[in-house]
Amino acid sequence: MTSSIRLALTLAVSLAIVPAAFAAPPTKTGKTDKGNVLTDAKGMTLYTFDKDADGKSACNGPCATNWPVLKAEATDAPGDGYTIIARDDGSRQWAYKGKPLYTFAKDQKPGDITGDGFLNGAWHLAMP
């Protein structure tokens, strides 16, 4: 292989890797009365659900209406503790440290944490 072909291949691979390495995380950090939590892009608190297991969401149907998922787009790439799981309906959802992430429909503004402890303690604030 000539050095110019090798250089071109190296450059192509580097350019393919760079966007994924510098992709922004799908969450932000926000402050609440209970400390720092993960939030979505709008600043809404994110939650985890005890019934989720092994990177699979147990919150579907009416549950997902009350607990909207943090959706991942087809072009999103995992990294820095974030993974993408496939949902039962075929959509994609962000997970942090293996736990799928959700907002709570009853939270009205950034900083609200009304879902913490819901359903006999099964819902928890997602902590950074």
Q: What is the spatial distance between Cα 31 and Cα 63, in angstroms, rounded to a whole number?
A: 26
What integer is the mean pLDDT of 48-52? 98
pTM: 0.82
Tokens of residue 60, six digits: 């579907």
Tell me how far apart the alpha carbons of residues 16 and 2 are, in angstroms, rounded to a whole number: 21
pLDDT digits (tens, 9 = 90+) for 76-98: 999 999 999 999 999 999 999 99
Give SS3 for 82.
strand
pLDDT, residue 19, reads 45
The predicted-structure confidence for 8-48, as pLDDT tens digits, reads as follows: 444 444 444 444 444 678 999 999 999 999 999 999 999 99
Decide if pLDDT at 119 tops 50: yes
